[in-house]
Structure 1
Amino acid sequence: MAKHYHPKRLLVEGQDDLRVIPELIEKNGIYWGAKKEEAIISIQECGGYENITYDLIYTELQTGRCTHLGLMVDADDNASLRWQSIRNACLQIESISHLPEQIPETGLIINTQDGQKIGIWIMPDNIIEGMLETFLGYMIPEQGEYIWQYAQEVAREAKNKGATFKESYIDKAEIYTWLAWQDEPGRQIHQAIKYNILNPQTPKVQGFINWFKDLYDL
């Protein structure tokens, strides 16, 4: 049987992105689909930013079947440098004639010369450094804010006392520390959204939701 091909596609860095996005979108009122073949979007996990290359983007757009293509990547240490890297890759594609020098705060959405929509979102908010876990920090519910501040302090103190996680992963350490203190402790991040431990409807999350809806015509 031929493999199902979905014309609306999203490229992400890793498994956490792959699992979080459907839960996040469903919690914002859009039914994702009960089965993979019913999903409103096909998400491809690429195994890291370094694998979201010109060749991959070009191949996705040149299939002749892709109508909408999203790229969701982490800013890591510098959102501007990450944007320039993606921009340079995309501008090698003939159907993409122009991209702005800076990514809009609301995320990028353009129409290619071939009539496809392409969108780019740099986690957490297209401006600051960070990653998916930084974005998840925007979902801490109001009643959890005090413990969240304490979790941040504890994670940083642990780093000062010799914890071996990379400094650039401090946001990961903070969110997982906070999750370890919830009921039930140690939920995975997509489960934390699904079971309302995190609040995916906070105002700072809505920018991404609006970008997603606009890109995929939802």
Structure 2
Amino acid sequence: MSSTSHRSRVLFVEGSSDKTIIKEILNIYLPHWKITRKRSGSSQPQIDIQDLQGIKNITPDKIFNQLADPNVPALGIVIDADSSASDQWQEICQTCQSVEQLRSISFPNQIPENGFICSVSDDQKFGIWMMPDNRSPGMLETLLSQLIPSDRENLWIHLQESVAQAKRLGAPFRNHHLDKARIYTWLAWHHKPGVWPDTAQRDVFNFDHPQVHAFVDWLKTLYDL
């Protein structure tokens, strides 16, 4: 096992829900992502998922500090596209280009469809993934809305109608948070309302989806897992 397995791979995310769902995806597809101490003293790969509580807190100094740490072989950032993937990409590129270690990096005009990854040095990588798919407007919950199990499609259709009716009756959630309203309603209609699912609750979301596979491939490439 390479020496990097003893070092901390870091992932910045915008919020607690992002952290929870990404951990769930890792548990399903990369169960070795956590540290597992053995009698020999060896350990398995680790990803330190850090909830920065909003994209505004993904700042140049936080990126700089991680890239300056010799014990961080890779830093990844997962953000939401929100209303425009193009605009969000340009904003995060401006943030990154003000970071000393990334000034020489040539960021493309548009984020690659399978996520962005570059080499900062011979032994350090940096990457960006934009939810839901590096192209479409939306957020993590937009991706989750594509993961509804096929045998619950009728319930999902009913839920969408219910949320739309609630909006017409004065529910104050903002239009750009429609996917959030739907997903949190979906969670509330399941075993433990408001609680994010674990691998035992496959009836909540079906993570066997091409877009989830693409995200996992990005994680594997960035973190050498």
* Aligned counterparts, 1:1-218, within 5 A: 6-33=7-34, 40-96=46-102, 97=104, 98-113=106-121, 115-182=123-190, 184-189=191-196, 191=197, 193-196=199-202, 197-218=204-225
Q: For 1:198, what is the secondary structure of its paired residue?
A: coil
Q: What is the deviation of 1:151? A: 1.3
The answer as to whether partners of 2:60 and 2:98 remain within 8 angstroms in 1 is yes
Q: 2:148 is aligned with what amino acid?
A: I
The answer as to whether partners of 1:69 and 1:118 remain within 8 angstroms in 2 is yes
Q: How many residues align?
A: 212
TM-score by length of 1: 0.88
Unpaired stretches in structure 2, ≥5 consecutive residues: 1-5, 37-42
Note the alpha carbon deviations across 1:26-51, whole angstroms, 9 max, x for none.
Answer: 1124333378x977200111011100
C-alpha separation in 2, matches of 1:31 and 1:146: 36
The answer as to whether partners of 1:58 and 1:93 remain within 8 angstroms in 2 is yes
Unpaired stretches in structure 1, ≥5 consecutive residues: none
The answer as to whether partners of 1:141 and 1:199 remain within 8 angstroms in 2 is yes
User: What percent of counterpart residues are identical?
Assistant: 40
> How has the CA–CA distance of structure 1 residues 39 and 158 changed in structure 2, closer, same or farther, with 3 Å as cutoff?
farther
Measured on the aligned residues, the alpha-carbon RMSD in Å equals 2.2
C-alpha separation in 2, matches of 1:59 and 1:152: 43
